[in-house]
Amino acid sequence: MIRRSLSAVLAIACAGPVYAAPDGQQTLFNFVRPADVVQVTTQDATLPQANAEQTAEGEVLRRVIFNPVEKPSLRLTPQSGVWDWSADSAMTLRVQSAMDWALTLYVQIQSSDGKTLNSRIDLPAGPAQTLIVPLQASSPLSQGMRVGPPMPWTYEGQHVLLANTEGELNPAQVSSVTVSMSRPDVAQSVLIEKFGVQEGDGVQKAAYTHLLDGYGQYTRGKWPEKINNDDQLKALAGKEQTQLKAWLKERPAQDKYGGLLKGPTFEAKGFFRTEKRNERWYLVTPEGHPFYSLGVNAVTADDSQTYVEGRETMFSSLPGDDDPLATFYGKGNDHRDTGASKDRHFDQGRTFDFYGANLQRTYGVFDTQHWADHTLQRLQAWGFNTIGNWSEPALENPDVSSQSHVPYTLPLSIVGDYVSISTGHDWWGGMPDPFDPRFAMATERAVAIAARDHRDDPYLIGYFADNELAWAAPGDDPHDRYALAYGTLKLTTDVPAKRAFLKQLRDKYRNQEGLSKAWGIDLPAWELMEDPGFEPPLPSPEHPEIENDFKYFQRVFAETYFKTISDALKWHAPNHLLLGGRFGVSTPEAIEACAKFCDVLSFNLYTPKPQDGMDFAKLRVLDKPVLVSEFHFGSRDRGPFWGGAMEVAREEDRGPAYSNFLKSALAEPSIVGVHWFQYLDQPATGRMLDGENGHLGLVGITDVPYQGFVEAVRKANGQVSEVIGKAQ
């Protein structure tokens, strides 16, 4: 480690005074004209030149080289004492990537009491930026959305890069600022100049002001499908209709359910079912033809609202209460204690539906049935054949003309006052306790309601048990793998799952002496396990029964869960498939139980191809068909700020990524379909449920399709008839 004052080694030395910039920024130290006010420490990083460098834009900055090691860093500390930044809102640094590519920097601000504030900085290639690091924990969630607007952006003539921060800081006792990289592959250079602080939060507020125009589009971006006026919307709608009619004529020969007439034939049994032939699994239509489910989730015109109350300044144009579009205002409340809602603000109050307003602008009226007919046309023209989860009921309406009728799936929404168990992840809530009799009652009620209007509908493929339950915590250590067992043993004995677990252990070991020996612990009394907060030992090779007991409990738990749902469905909807649990995180015990009681295994896989998300060699042992119930590819260049769970660099990359995913899925004989998430882009300022704001859609907030993407999707979907049609 090298510790020195820059003024001792740089040729251009000047004890210049600290000054306040016009925008409220105060320079504490200048790397180009350094003064003896800051100590600079480098670790595995160097400041190689005695002279500063002039950039292509005419700025003068100084180079820092981060070497290819674990964590090269540059650390700034006061010459004496600490910095008092209690009157300031943010730390600032003028910085530029000296490479031809973007760099990732990490900034840590520490106070003398050990508190730290951390930030990850995605520094783009190009001109210098003024990096602004708020001195309080801040993130887009505090503004009601998952991801904030693109950075950098131009503010008062400066390129500004506003960072997100995590942690806690005592701003009156700031002891150090560290800028680092994480394991660079090769030496990376950064150019820096002024380091300082900023008063007030004007920049932070400006970053989130007037983000959306009257159409719900991002105001600071440009892209081909962006709408400027109502006439443009209407013209595009007319042009699209002509194109859809031509595409619909090019679909492969199929039965009325979308089953391929070219290819193997099966026995017609009147409802969708599964069958394995020549080592390949198939979904089979009611008429006995192979059906590869190409689905789209969340095909709805009524799920694009965003909260406006309390953050009206984000919107440059909202309709007045006497405006005809005021009908698209609403009310909501998504304030709940789940992982998906953690730290999110602006999650209740008045909402506005830009998508609905844009439909009215285009067609003169918001008509659900007209929208449904047009949307079904679109999906079939683009090569889809399934309406996925959480979609508009009008799309499933038997009154829709038969040529537009499309098979669909339904979710089971099991809600009740049964006990839930935390696994530490709990994105959508805790795990339902299947040993609780109230869970069986809630399941019976949910299945009865879901089946009431669909019992004899041959277009219904089947039901999903739930979605992305917290079967485990995301991670690799034993606490994550066996989070369900750990979470259960921490609870009180009035929780049915804990009583079931304790009974399992007592039946096996009889007393505390047997358990103590098997687990390698000293348990003086069995009653100590009944106490809330009991923490079992970690699995170990010396005591294999710990892991065996955890696995057994989690297997019984999962089998009880899926059997409860399966039994209810067999009674209320015996003609339809149970399509599995849409696993996000899972355990082998949960997957095996699902295979035992469900007709299909379903996984939400946000990976480049299905095989990157699951070990299909292991799944084949279970001998069950597999449905990819969610996948997508998003980017950040079409308005919404988040690139989705599987992000690509540009819009132009989404089509090839889709094609590659589907090609890989067709190469796996157990996969019987893939469902895209989702039909529409999410609102740029965040959807109501959890603030997600991704460019994930086939269609934008203006109801304008992404033409290049849907053409690529349509071409890719044509692979299905070629592959399935050749199979016998």
- CA 201 from centroid of its chain's CA atoms: 29
Of 583, 593, 565, 581, give the one whose Cα is nearest residue 447.
565
Backbone angles phi, psi at 25, to 5 degrees: -85, 135
Determine the average pLDDT of the residues in 201-229. 96
Q: What is the mean pLDDT of the chain?
A: 92
Record the tokens describing residue 632, joined without a space.
């997508």
Determine the average pLDDT of the residues in 526-551. 94
Task: Please say if the pLDDT value at position 392 is more than 70.
Answer: yes
Residue whose pair of structure tokens reads 């949960």 in the numeric block: 590
* Partners of 402 in beta bridges: none
Contact 149, 641 (CB under 8 A): yes
Count of CA atoms in the C-beta half-sphere (13 A) of 133: 31
Task: Please say if the pLDDT value at position 201 is more than 90.
Answer: no
Which domains does the chain show, CATH number per domain?
2-206 (2.60.120.430), 209-406+605-728 (3.20.20.80)
Going from the C-alpha of 666 to that of each of 288, 715, 718, 721, the distances in angstroms are 20, 15, 12, 11
pLDDT confidence band for 157 (50 / 70 / 90): confident
* Partners of 131 in beta bridges: 93, 161
Give the per-residue pLDDT at 728: 62
Of 1, 79, 2, 65, give the one whose Cα is nearest residue 35.
79
Q: How far apart are CA 199 and CA 86, in angstroms?
A: 10
Contact 502, 490 (CB under 8 A): no
Q: How far apart are CA 552 and CA 485, in angstroms?
A: 10
- CA 291 from centroid of its chain's CA atoms: 29
Give the per-residue pLDDT at 16: 32
Burial class (CB in 10 A: 0-12, 13-18, 19+), 320: exposed
Q: How far apart are CA 723 and CA 667, in angstroms?
A: 9
Contact 69, 44 (CB under 8 A): yes
pLDDT confidence band for 48 (50 / 70 / 90): confident
In what helix (H) or strand (E) does residue 515 lie, and over which residues does it extend? helix 512-519
Task: Please say if the pLDDT value at position 353 is more than 60.
Answer: yes
Give SS3 for 723. helix
Record the tokens describing residue 77, joined without a space.
């500390």
Lowest mean per-residue pLDDT among 94-108, 244-258, 385-399, 529-543: 385-399
pLDDT confidence band for 726 (50 / 70 / 90): confident
Tell me the pLDDT tens digit for each residue of 639-688.
Answer: 999 999 999 999 999 999 999 999 999 999 999 999 999 999 999 999 99
Task: Give the helix, strand, coil percentages of the chain, each rounded to 5.
Answer: 30, 25, 45
Of 543, 418, 557, give the one whose Cα is nearest residue 485.
557
The type of residue at 277 is R
Of 386, 369, 82, give the one whose Cα is nearest residue 259.
386
Q: How far apart are CA 55 and CA 33, in angstroms?
A: 16
pLDDT confidence band for 403 (50 / 70 / 90): low
Q: How far apart are CA 36 and CA 17, in angstroms?
A: 11
Task: Please say if the pLDDT value at position 18 is more than 50.
Answer: no
Task: Please say if the pLDDT value at position 234 is more than 90.
Answer: yes
In this structure, how many other beta carbons lie within 10 angstroms of the beta carbon of residue 118? 18
Give the per-residue pLDDT at 447: 96
Burial call 599-627: b when 16+ CB within 10 Å, e when fewer: bbbbbbbbbbbbbebbeeeebeeeebbbb
pLDDT confidence band for 399 (50 / 70 / 90): low
pLDDT confidence band for 10 (50 / 70 / 90): very low
User: Residues 6 or more apart from 225 whose CB is under 8 A from it?
Assistant: 638, 700, 702, 704, 705, 706, 707
Determine the average pLDDT of the residues in 106-115. 97
> Which DSSP state fits 597?
H
72 upstream amide cis, omega within 30 of 0: no
Of 31, 53, 57, give the one whose Cα is nearest residue 42.
31
Contact 685, 314 (CB under 8 A): yes
Give the per-residue pLDDT at 52: 86
Higher pLDDT: 409 or 429? It is 409
pLDDT confidence band for 17 (50 / 70 / 90): very low
Tell me the pLDDT tens digit for each residue of 436-455.
Answer: 999 999 999 999 999 998 98
Give the per-residue pLDDT at 5: 39
Determine the average pLDDT of the residues in 16-25. 46
Give SS3 for 548. helix
> Which DSSP state fits 13?
-
Contact 119, 139 (CB under 8 A): no
Task: Please say if the pLDDT value at position 397 is more than 80.
Answer: no
Record the tokens describing residue 40, joined without a space.
């600079």
Going from the C-alpha of 657 to that of each of 16, 473, 640, 717, the distances in angstroms are 54, 28, 19, 13
pLDDT confidence band for 615 (50 / 70 / 90): very high
User: Residues 6 or more apart from 336 whose CB is under 8 A from it?
Assistant: none
Q: How far apart are CA 325 and CA 230, in angstroms?
A: 13
Tell me the pLDDT tens digit for each residue of 297-323.
Answer: 999 999 999 999 999 999 999 999 999
Note if the pTM is more than 0.75. yes
Give the per-residue pLDDT at 183: 95
In this structure, how many other beta carbons lie within 10 angstroms of the beta carbon of residue 499? 16
Task: Please say if the pLDDT value at position 343 is more than 90.
Answer: no
In this structure, how many other beta carbons lie within 10 angstroms of the beta carbon of residue 405? 21
Share of the chain above pLDDT 70, in %: 95
pLDDT confidence band for 9 (50 / 70 / 90): very low
Give the per-residue pLDDT at 37: 86
Going from the C-alpha of 436 to that of each of 442, 444, 452, 707, the distances in angstroms are 10, 13, 25, 50
Share of the chain above pLDDT 90, in %: 86
Determine the average pLDDT of the residues in 510-519. 94
In this structure, how many other beta carbons lie within 10 angstroms of the beta carbon of residue 522? 7
Residue 157 gets the label, from left (phi > 0), alpha (psi -120 to 50) or beta, of: left
